[in-house]
Each structure stands twice: as structure tokens, then as C-alpha cells.
Structure 1
Amino acid sequence: MGRVTDLFEPETVGVIGATDREGAVGRAILENLREEFAGELVAINPSRDEVLGLECHTDVASAPPVDLAVVVVPPSAVLETVRELGEAGTEHVVVVTAGFSETGSEGARRERELRDVAAAYDLNVVGPNSLGVMSTDAGLNATFGPESALEGSISFMSQSGAFITAVLDWANEQGIGFQDVVSLGNKTVLDETDFVRAWGDDPDTDVVIGYLEDIENGDEFVEVAREVTEETPIVLVKSGRTDAGAKAASSHTGAIAGSERAYEAGLEQAGVVRATSVQELFDYARALSGGTEPASDGVAVVTNAGGPGVLTTDAIGDSTLRMAQFDDGTIEALTDAMPAEANVYNPIDAIGDADVDRFGRALEIALADPDVGSAVVVSAPTAVLEYDTLAETVIEKREEFEKPVVTCLMGGRRARAAEEVLREFAIPNYFDPSRAVAGLDALARYRDVRARTVDDPERFDVDRDRARAILSRADRRDDNRLGVESMDLLEAYGIPTPAGEVVGDPDRAREVARSIDGDVVVKIVSPDISHKSDIGGVRVGVGDADVYDAYEDVVSRARNYQPDATILGVQIQEMVNLEAATETIVGMNRDPQFGPLLLFGLGGIFVEILEDTAVRVAPIGEGDAREMTDEIRAAPLLRGARGREPADVDAVVETIQRLSQLVIDFPAILELDVNPLVAGPEGVQAIDLRLTVDTDEL
């Protein structure tokens, strides 16, 4: 398979299905190619001798070889056409034709066969059901869209061809340019990960952006994007948010960490800057294409209008940034340079009669302040202020101090003229102050992405054979669920559990209780009863003398609650002191795109109500595990809030890592809950366990 980037640099392009028929896709593609493409064009259509002045060949075999082929033939002819291209030595194919998996089972069959043909000939295939591809550097517009892209440094991928046509129409008006554009279509062969990898190696791509409805191979995407974002920012809009994954899950973890949580975790770990709207997507991209990252989160605001200045201040308060705190020297310099009526504290209000010189002096003084990492210049139009001259001043000061500056030059015609000046130096202008701040915020977020360190997952010394034997018990069950009767699984991976045993009669219950110091917990063991405490299936603080009766009681309550429930026995377990500890949950739900999704949070009986959790895609190292303990709202409880003795957070962090290793070692584990994992000053103990096993994977 050739390099994906070569797809955007062909010397010869063939259109299979080229035609001169008005309104036909094959004609639109050929016309778009003829606009700017300087290479050789080859038209192929058995029913034409000539198309738009080009000689038309009857089939691929009779045509000259091409670097890139655009296929616009009926669905029934696509497979044979692609096979002929493979035999002719073509490496890159764009299948524009629709009628594949998006149409039903017959189309899905054709798509599988297309994938097989591509694999047999080692082809790079875009689509099917694709609008096509563009490269402004190569003058290549191999799409049937109505607009070509302006030149720029943004590379753009989209699962929606219609989205591309709308974006290009809007972007051309806004003066936003692109390097490469690709309509992913059905992603039968090439997907988002392939293009992220390719553009990460492309020196002409400053920012990668995308509109995605799903991600084919989430774990591979995270791995590739994490490497790419070390040098090239990635901004994505992900649509199609759904709770279907959560609805299908049977564990606490699965219910809380549904599909959208997996995307959130995976994209964050990949270093992707996520946008929630199309406007944000391009606002972020414009800021990031400038390339300068703020050294600090402090923002200076320079304005000639009080109201917009306040709006900007509010927007900074809502972001990850903060208002810069000017030092005494900055305040003195501003006081000397500004009129008495001006506000010299951040935000700097140079008042309504400010000319370009006053604006420039205020910006210069602000950027010189050591706490200022970036600045926003906000202005309303006045008779004494020329926006295009102000734009030149902003460029000068940005270049002098090498700090990011964005502008909010509010207005129409005047602002558009200034935007043309600013655009040459990659300084974005926004009408809304909140959008200007969001652009700076994206720069700061990407700075943090580049500054991060990713720990390699630690490999603990565990007993995998013992764990496999325990998991294999699910193969002997009517269902594929295991519970507290399999607590040895955790011990095999070094996760502490209280002393105890699952017993099958009250006499044995009494024997086990007598072997444990102090009172015990008596708990029904049934895969069919999730919330055991709700039905009286748990007795706490039971002494030796009462264990026999407690056993009979929890069994009776379980039978009365659900007569057909499978009862595997009763767990007799050492009491754990909860007064000085915090009940947490650690678990995993295997996401279809991203694989094992780890969850940590506040646990106990209210876990699904409070939903105070953090998630990561496994495997993870110590850094990610520790961040999970910091992210939850209940983090102060672990660290000793209100006079409580701090929990052993290191033990919690190690437990999360051990669980990460367990679910990576055994893909057969589909879901797993340890709830509660009791975290106290002396360490952690796993009190309860539930998991679901795919026995075919063992």
C-alpha cells in the first residue's frame, strides 16, 4: 500500500465513469479537475469516444496508468472496476459511488467484497459513498462539490460529504483555507486514523480538523493521535452522541461509562481538542494555525468599549484561562500612558476616543507584563480609529513580544478590511468576544497537551493462570456472570480483599465466622440480585452466635424477593471499618470502539445516583490513574477533608493500574465492578465484585 499522502499528490488522475451529460456526477468531477489540476487527466467510459474534449477510453485496461482513480460507476460495477485498477497498478482509489453499507444487507455485502479486493491488491481506497478528495497544493479537486477550497494549512476530513460542501462555501467567504480535504464516506479501507497519521507527517499541515460520526478503531486512533499531537494539533467535532452503550450494559460501570464517555476519555487521552459545534471547530483551528502557544494562562484585555470588555472578562472566567494580574510597573506605565478616565487595571479600557497609537501603547505595556501569556484586543468602531491600521499595530506587537494575540474588531465592512490584513499573519478576528477567548483557550489546551507526559503502564507480578481458572468458571454457568464467589480473581492480581468465604450451609457459615476476628458481614450471593442491601440480603455486624440465623434470614429474603433467582451461597466476610474510610468504585466496561474503559469514582450504594466518576481507556500508567483520583468531586474525601485522616491514595492508584492490567490481559472480561473499594489510611480493600465474561475469548 502506498503512502496515504501520495493520494493528494498524483501526477495522473483517471475518472472512471466520466461523462459530458449535464447534471451527472462524472461530469462535475471532471470539470472540477480541469479547473486547476496541472497533471494528466484520463477519462474512461465505454459509451463515449470523447468527454469534454478529452479522449475517452473504453476500460481501465485500455487506458494509460493513473496514480489516482475516481470511480463513478453503478454499484454493481464497482468491484470489477476496482479489481481492474489493482491489476493495472493503481495504488489510490476514491469510490464516489453510493449504494453500499448505508443501504442495507446487500450493500454491506458489496462493501465487504470491496474491502477484500482492496486488500488483495494493496490499495488505498477512500469511500465508497464519498464526495471525493482535494489538495490545494496540487491543484486537485477530485470532488463533485460546487466549490474548491482556498489555499491554507488546515487539513480537513469529514464523514459527511454534504458537510464539506457547506463548510467550503462558508470558509471561502471567511477567507479560511485548506491544505487537504477528504470525504471519508463509509471508511471501508482508509479511515480517520490513516489520515491523522498521514497529516501528522505532512509539513504543510499545521492543524488537522474533522467532523466524525464514529471512530472505527478507537484504541489505534488514540495511539496514533497521541503521537501526532506532540507536533500537530487535532480538533474534532464528534456527532451522534448516544446512551445506547450504557443501556446495553448490566454493570454499574457500564451504566455510567457509556459510549459517549468512551469518546470523551479516548479523545482526551489522544490529545485531541474537542469542539462542540462547527463554529468552535473553525474558531479553534484558526487560533491553532497561528502556532504560538501562551506561556501562562494570564490574559490581558485591551478595549475601547466597557461593555465588550466586561463580556470578554466573563468569557475568560468561563474558560480554563484567567485574567492576568498586572504588576506595579505595568500599572504605573499604563497610568502614565492613558487618560485619567481610562481603566488601567485588567481589562484595560482605553475609552472611546482611543486612537491606534493609544491602543498600541496599551497593548505593548500589557504584553510586556510577566503574568500575561496572551491578549485579546476588543474594539467597537469609532470615527478616530482605523481598523486596518489597528490590525497592523496588533501584528507588530504580536511579532515583537511573541505572545498570542487575537482580536475582536466588532463591525462589518471595517472589520472585514482589517481581517484581510490580520489573516496574512495568522491572527484570527472574531465578532464575538467569547469566541476570541475560546480561540485562546484552545491554544492553552493544546499547550497542555504538548507538555504532558504519558507513563508506560507498569507490569505487576500476577498469577495469570489462577485468574484464567477463576474466569473459566463462567463456562459452567447458565449465564456468563461471576460475583463475590470469584474474589480470588482480585487476589490473583494483587488487589486486597477481606478475609472470608462463600458457603453453602449455615453450619459452615458459623465455622468461617469463628475463624475471623470480630463481627462479620453476611451477604447473599446471587447473579440475579444486583442491589442486595435493598432486599435485606446483607447483614452487617453479625456476631458468632447470630451467624446461623443471619444465613437463614438472607436466603429467605432472597427467595421471597425473587423465587427463581440462582443462589450460589452466602458470603461470610470480615467487617471493614467504614467510619474512617471512603467507599469508592473501580470498574471496566469494554467499549466496542475504544476497548476497555476504566472507571473510578465515589462508590457504595449511591454510585449510579451521584455518578461522581472519572474514566480512561486502558491500558494506563500511574499518571493517568492518579489523575482519575483527582478528577472526581469527592477527591477531598480521599485527601482528608474536615479533619478526616487521608486515605492511602497510592494504594488506590496502584489498584486502578492492577485492574487495567487485568482487563488488558483478559479480553474475555466484558464488564467488571469492584464496588465498594474501601480506601482508608492503611490501604484499600475490595468488598464486592461483579463481572461478565465472554467465555469464547478464554
Structure 2
Amino acid sequence: MGELATLFGPERVAVVGATDRDGSVGRAITANLLADFEGDVVAVNPTKDEVLGLESHDSVGAVPDVDVAVVVVPPPIVLDAIREAAEAGIRDVVVITAGFGESGSEGARRERELRELAAEYDLNVVGPNSLGIMNTGVGLNATFGPENAQEGSISFMSQSGAFVTAVVDWANDRNLGFHNVVSLGNKAVLDESDFVREWGEDPDTDVILGYLEDVVDGRAFVESAREVSQDTPIVVVKSGRTEAGASAAASHTGAIAGSEEAYEAALDQAGVLRVDTVQDLFDFGSILAGQPLPERDGVAIVTNAGGPGVMTTDAVGDSDLSLASFTDETVERLQEALPDEANVYNPVDIIGDAPVERFAEALDIALADPNVGAAVVLACPTAPLSYEVLADAVVELQADHQVPVAATLMGGSSAREANERLSQVGIPTYFDPARAVRSLDALRAYREIGQREYTEPETFDVDREAAREILESAARRDTNRLGVEAMDLLDAYGIPTPDGDIVDARSDAVEAAERIAPDGEVVMKIVSPDILHKSDIGGVAVGVPPGEVGDTYEDLVTRARNYQPDATILGVQVQEMVDLDSGVETIAGMNRDPQFGPLVLFGLGGIFVEVLEDTTLRVAPVSESSAREMLDEIDAAPLLRGARGRDPVDEGSVVETLQRLSQLVTDFPAIVELDINPLVATPDGAQAVDVRLTIDQEQL
């Protein structure tokens, strides 16, 4: 165990605010501790001589060797109680009392003081506004819930205390056990990252489950979960889904990378399995705790019912699993073992008159097939079939073959005892076969998480001072938006850009064009921090021949002034032509999320980027392997690989650009949003043709 070992494994627990008053929280916590806790329980209440048979003490400091203080006193005296505990050497505190950050300005002030107190004494504080904690290994139930959890290997944290009570009641009815349970409360000190780290070091925790409404420190959570998830599965329900946001966003990336997308990207990057429903949360938790990981994706279905077998086959088709193709030897063995009317191909239908012996033989043959990575045992009640005997056979065969199995014994009371038998040994059971398949797919997904290779982000040699000067010059102009005038910012970080100049006179435009393309055409763009979508107002001219450069300059400036008379016009950019016909227009961008920090975006670019939304996200900093994954994840990936006879683009150049962009936005928190659109990827490399960004001047 780690830093929180004493919190979950105390020898003496003090209830500060213990009472015997009926219906009170202090009584419920004291009674729950007395019911099962293997250690000592201490009552602290200066107004009582005795509480539920325990001697009551005036203060927690008067009792030696207390490991954990559970505080359930009125809000105004909580801080005094915690300080008293801290001065007595108690480092672990569970604050049940509400009336803190969730309750207005006075509560918010009280919560700030609690954090300061915890920092002063180096305390581990759960809550405030918490239901409490459990550790079934030592019988610790320091909650005011109505019952204790059963013992198991799942550790569960929840941002809702009420949800904890419902889950424990539901899980007890289904023989689903927990090791540790934590009601996070307001997360003033300890948060989800702390418990992920703790349970990742806990040999008695096989799976971590969580119900979260937000994440306090997104970066810390990603780092902690990414390390822990390599060995311990983490499954989370994240509530509070919102539409991707940002009607006020100044960039494409800001419009696409809303808070929900940030959570999706961050949890995936952290190796966390995110689910949408409570049912999936515990379905996945049960199978991850009880079954081995599949070595391959092929699923065998063995059933005595044709219709449900088809339903299960459809569910496999909807997943990332596949229906296993049996070897010729397996088919021959099934033909010998089953009646002529049976289907010996997957799904195996042993027909409705099958006794347990036929079921067991067919399952044994299927599990032995080298193409089978997992199996669904699917049965409907019939007179020849005993569910209880079938359950014993499934338990034995799963143990022999060590192939993950999910069972669907359809029925009510007829399946109850068999389901309990299977659940006791970690074989999950479901009425709906689609749930069985989804759970097996969770095993596959976690296997792939464990196979990921994480590499540290590369640090490139860049010119940070030049970049800082460009950003500060924008602040001196009292603007928070930059366009192509910030191309030098990309140059400072080694991101390739076409040759170009920004000019503020007709003659200078002609001179710049002659230098950039003596006998060729150029691109010309209006430069204004106030005009974001230049092409929408005719502020971009492509393929301008040498003889038209001067007139085009005048035309672009006139259009811009007519469109927005009060706009700041910095000039016109004269830029080298980029061959779009041989390349792919992509977008590379960044949006700074309040929880996770800079999110790097990549996808199909151009003027329709927000319509197509073919993009993917990563939390910065982005490593080379993560950047390569981003190229693979977009739907337009075949375009990068040379679709329809085109030459493939230089993916290495795109990958490096994403890494350098990641370093840029990590180095400068003042960059709030950034778009490189298009980032043109060609067989010869990648070039940032256009850029715009928003800065927070206070961060410079």
C-alpha cells in the first residue's frame, strides 16, 4: 500500500461527534464501526459520558494512538476538530460534515481554510461532505450508509455519496464485493488521482471503478491513471456530459474541442475505460476482476437456443470482437459429439433437447479451439437441462482452459442459484446476451491498453526567446488575437512554413513577390487580428501572377476596410505557393482546457473542418507514438497513405509538427487557442500555410 495505507487500514478510529441520538449521522457511523471493524472504536463527544456502550472522550487529542479521525460535528467547529486531531499526530481525517464549498461563500471560505490546514499539517483528508469510507478487508465501515459492502477485489470511488449507498445495496443483492469504497465528497484535499495511485499499489485491488462528475487536476489524473492502468483496470462513469462548446471560440479547434471531447481524449490517453451507464460500469468491473484477458478476439457461442444465438451473434458484430472461425478439427469433433440437427459452426446450436453433458462437451471442444479467445455460454431453460449442474460444468471447463467466459442463463428464479455459483468464482452472468458480449469486449479493450507502449515526449531545440518576443509584441499592440503575422512563432519552434513576407505598401508587395517567386505566382492574404475568416470576405488571393501583385494588394486592403472599417490592418502577406494538388490539407491545433490543460488536435483540414469534424485529440505534451496514433485515428487516414494512386505523404514530418506544436503550447500557457489550418502534408514534408491564435495577455 502507499500513502493512504493507514487511512484504509487503521487500528483505532475515533468518531468526533459520536452520539447515540436516534436518526443521527454520528450514531450511524459509530454503530457501523462497532458492527464489523476489527480495530478499536473511540467515541469523542464532550457532552456525553457514554455512546453506544463506549466511553465518550472530551477531545480526540485525549486518546492515544488514534489512526483515523471521522469528523461529524457542526460546520463551524470542524476546523477546530481537525486541528486538534492534527496536533495529536493524526494524519488521516474523514470529514462527513457538509456546509463547505457546496453551500455558498461562507462554505467556500471554510473549505479554503480546511485546505490550508491540511497543507500546514500534511493531512490526508477525505471530503468534506462525504458519506465516508470502507475497507472490507478489516471490516471498516466508516460511513452512515445502511449496510456494509461484501468483501471483494474491486475498489470504488464516487463523487456522490447517495450513489454509494445505492450501489452497495444493489451489489450485495448480486454477491458483488468491494475491497475499498470512498465517497469523495468535495475533494478539498484528496481527489480521484490520489485514490487511483493508492489502489494501483494495493495488491488486494484488482479493478478500480469510479463515478466522477469532474476531475480536479486533469494532468495529474492522466499521469496517475496511465501508470496504474498498465497493471490495474480502471473503469469510469463520467456524468455531466455537455455539448462541445464554444460558440465564442475564436478558432476551429476551440469549437471542436469542447469539454466532453476533452474528457474522452484524456480518459482514453490515460488508459481508462469510460462507460456511459452504471450497468456497464459494474458489468465491466465484474468481468475484469473475475476473468483472464483473451489472447485473441474470436468469440465462440455455445447455446441451446437458436434465436438468442442469433442475437448474440449480432452483438458480436456490433463490438470490436469477431465470431471465431473454428478449425476443421473442431468442426469434426463437434460433428461427432452433436446430433445431426445441431449446428456445428459458430454459433454452436446444440438444440433444445440437450442435457448438461452435451452442453459441456460442446463447450469443451469450442474452448480448445486455437482461434477462440473467449466464449459466451447461452442457455434457455428446458426440462432436460439443469442450470445448477451446467454452472458446475462451466466453472470446471473455464478453469481447465483459462479462456474468459461470460454466461447468459436466461430465466428468473430458475437461474438464480446457478448464477450465484458462477458469480462466486468470477464468471459473470447476464440475462441479456448483448451485455455478455460488451463485457468480453471490455476485456479485449483492456488487453490493448496493457499492450500500449508509452514513450516520453521529445524536447526539441527551439528559440523560446524569439517566440516570447512575438507573443509579447502582440500584447504591446493590445491585441489577444494573431493571424499570419505570427508565422515567425512557428518558425521559432521549427514548424515548417512557406517563404513569405508581410508588407504594408504596394511597392513592397511587388518587391516581395519578385524575391519569393521571380517568375511564378504567389498567394496574398490580408493581415488583420480582427478578421479571422479571411477567405469569407475575399481576403485571400491564390495564384497571383507577377503583373497583378500591386493591384491585388490594393484590392485586398480595400475589401478588408469595406468589410470592417474599424479593423486593424497590419498589411498583406505575400507567400510562396504550396502545391495543394499533391498534398492533403490537414489541421493541427490546440485548445486549453480548464481541467486538462493544452489539448492538441489533428485532423482533416481546410475550410470545411468544422463541418466534417474528422479530428482527434491528445492531452499535451504529445509523444511521437501518440502523434502517430493521431494520424491513424482520423477517418481520412487513407488519404495520407496515398489513396487513389496518389503518393503517400511524409507522415514523419506531420508527426514531428504535432510534437513541436505540443512543445510550443506547453511552454507558453499564454496561448489559449491555436490553429494551423491548413497544415499541408505532401510526399516531401508538411508546411503550415496559415495560422491564427488567441493569447491571454495576463499569462505573459
TM-score, normalised on structure 2?
A: 0.98
- By how many angstroms is 1:76 displaced? 0.8
Q: Report the residue type matching 2:526 in the other structure.
A: I
Which residues of 2 match residues 541-552 of structure 1 at below 5 A? 541-552=543-554
Partners of 2:452 and 2:416 in 1: CA distance? 38
2:155 matched to which residue of 1?
155
Q: How far did 1:217 drift?
A: 0.9
Moved more, 8-17 or 644-653: 644-653
- Secondary structure of residue in 2 paired with 1:289: helix
2:552 counterpart of 1:553: no
**In structure 2, C-alpha distance between the alignment counterparts of 1:540 and 1:244, rounded to whole Å:** 33
Alpha-carbon deviation of 1:414?
2.2
Cα deviation for residue 635 of structure 1 reads: 0.9
Q: Deviations over 1:490-541 (max 9, x none)?
A: 1111111111111111111111111122111111111221211111111111
Of the candidates 595, 605, 614, which is equivalent to residue 593 of structure 1?
595
> What are the residue-to-residue correspondences of 1:161-200 with 2, within 5 Å?
161-200=161-200
Distance 2:678 2:647 in 1: 19
Shift of 1:248: 5.1
> SS of the counterpart of 1:629?
helix
Whole-angstrom CA distance in 1 between matches of 2:492 and 2:321:
45
- How far does residue 244 in structure 1 lie from its aligned partner after superposition? 6.6
Secondary structure of 1:284's counterpart equals: helix
**C-alpha distance in 1, partners of 2:628/2:69?**
50
Task: Give 1:520's aligned residue.
Answer: 522
Partner amino acid for 2:564? Q
Of the candidates 611, 614, 637, which is equivalent to residue 612 of structure 1? Answer: 614
Q: Please name the residue that 2:288 is paired with.
A: 288
Kindly report which structure 2 residues correspond to 1:4-15, keeping only aligned pairs within 5 A, or say none: 4-15=4-15
Please say if residues 244 and 261 of structure 2, whose CA atoms lie closer than 8 Å, have aligned partners that are also in contact. Answer: no
- Equivalent residue letter for 2:362: A
Q: Hey, what's the Cα distance between the residues in 2 that align with 1:189 and 1:550? A: 61
Name which of structure 1's ranges 674-683 and 48-57 shifts more when overlaid on structure 2. 48-57
Which range is displaced more, 295-304 or 423-432?
Answer: 423-432
Q: Distance in 2 between matches of 1:9 and 1:643?
A: 65
- What amino acid sits opposite 2:135 in the alignment? S
CA distance in 2, matches of 1:47, 1:590: 52
Matched-pair contact (CA < 8 Å) for 2:244–2:256: no
Counterpart check, 1:441 vs 2:441: yes
Q: Distance in 2 between matches of 1:567 and 1:85?
A: 64
1:229 & 1:104 partners in 2: Cα distance? Answer: 37
1:235 offset after TM fit, Å? 0.5
- Structure 1: 5+ residue stretches without partners: none
Listed as ranges, the matches of 1:14-413 within 5 Å are 14-243=14-243, 246-247=246-247, 249-413=249-413
Counterpart CA distance in 2 for 1:225 and 1:437 is 26
Secondary structure class of the residue paired with 1:76: helix
Task: For residue 280 of structure 1, give the secondary structure of its aligned residue in structure 2.
Answer: helix
Range that drifts further, 451-460 or 302-311: 451-460
The whole-number CA distance in structure 2 between the counterparts of 1:310 and 1:238 is 32
Give yes or no for contact 2:175–2:424 (8 Å, CA) kept in 1.
no
The one-character-per-residue Cα deviations of 1:231-288 (angstroms, maximum 9, x if unpaired) are 1111100111124753453211111011111111111111111111000000000110
CA contact 2:598–2:620 (8 Å) conserved in 1: yes
1:38 and 1:682 map into 2 onto residues whose CA distance is: 69
TM-score by length of 1: 0.98
Which of the residues 596, 618, 635 maps onto 1:633?
635
Counterpart-to-counterpart distance in 1, 2:162 and 2:289: 25
Could you tell me whether the CA contact under 8 Å between 2:14 and 2:60 is conserved in 1? no
**Is the CA contact (8 Å cut-off) linking 1:2 and 1:91 kept in structure 2?**
no
User: Distance in 2 between the 1:292 and 1:559 partners?
Assistant: 68
Which amino acid in the other structure matches residue 221 of structure 1? F
Q: Does the CA contact (< 8 Å) of 1:429 and 1:436 recur in 2?
A: yes
Distance 1:185 1:478, change over 3 A: same
Provide Cα deviations, 1:364-390, integer angstroms capped at 9, x if missing partner: 111111110010001111111111111
Contact 2:44-2:57 at 8 Å conserved across structures: yes
Check whether the contact 2:251–2:692 (CA below 8 A) recurs between aligned residues. yes
Task: Name which of structure 1's ranges 231-240 and 563-572 shifts more when overlaid on structure 2.
Answer: 563-572
Deviation at 1:697, TM superposition (A): 3.0
Q: CA deviation at 1:636?
A: 1.1
| Counterpart-to-counterpart distance in 1, 2:45 and 2:335 | 75
Q: Secondary structure at the match of 2:294?
A: coil
**One-letter amino acid of the structure 2 residue matched with residue 608 of structure 1:** E
**CA drift at 1:38:** 2.4
Among 655, 662, 665, the residue aligned to 2:664: 662
Residues matched between the structures, number: 698
The answer (yes or no) to whether the contact 1:581–1:680 under 8 Å persists in 2 is yes
Aligned to 1:497: 497
1:82-128 per-residue CA deviation (whole Å, 9 max, x = no partner) reads 11110011111000000111111211111010000011111100000
Distance 1:274 1:244, change over 3 A: closer
Q: 1:569 aligned to 559, 566, 571, which one?
A: 571
**Residues of 1 paired with 2:414 and 2:474: CA distance?**
72
- Post-superposition CA distance 1:198-242 (Å, at most 9, x none): 111111111000000011111111111111111111110011112
Identity of aligned residues (%): 67
Kept after mapping to 1: 8 A contact 2:2/2:198: no
Deviation at 1:395, TM superposition (A): 1.2
Matched-pair contact (CA < 8 Å) for 2:245–2:256: no
Contact 2:374–2:403 (CA<8 Å) still a contact in 1?
yes
User: Residues of 1 paired with 2:89 and 2:243: CA distance?
Assistant: 45
Report which stretch shifted further, 241-250 or 496-505: 241-250
User: Which digits, 9 at most, give the CA deviation of each residue in 1:63-86, with x for residues without a partner?
Assistant: 444111111111111111111110
Aligned residue number for residue 623 of structure 2:
621
The equivalent of 2:453 in structure 1 is 453
1:693 CA displacement: 2.1
Cα deviation, residue 469, structure 1 = 1.7
Q: For 1:437, what is the secondary structure of its paired residue?
A: helix
Query: What's the CA shift for 1:62?
Result: 3.0
The answer on whether the counterparts of 1:407 and 1:430 sit within 8 Å (CA) in structure 2 is yes
Structure 2 unaligned regions, length at least 5: none
Q: What is the identity, as a one-letter code, of the residue corresponding to 1:90?
A: I
Whichever residue aligns with residue 135 of structure 1, its letter is N
How large is the Cα RMSD of the aligned pairs?
1.3
CA deviation profile, 1:375-431 (whole Å, cap 9, x unmatched): 000111111111111111111111111111110111111211011211222111111
Greater displacement, 422-431 / 191-200? 422-431
413-422 or 79-88, which deviates more: 413-422
Please give the per-residue CA displacement for 1:99-158, whole angstroms capped at 9, x wherever unaligned. 111111211111010000011111100000000001111101110111210111100000
For 2:196, what is the secondary structure of its paired residue? Answer: helix
Q: Distance in 2 between matches of 1:497 and 1:539?
A: 18
**Partner-residue secondary structure (3-state), 2:47:** coil
Evaluate the alpha carbon distance shift between residue 630 and residue 685 of structure 1 in structure 2; reply closer, same or farther with a 3 A threshold: same
Amino acid at match of 1:228: V
**8 Å Cα contact 1:513-1:520 kept in structure 2:** yes
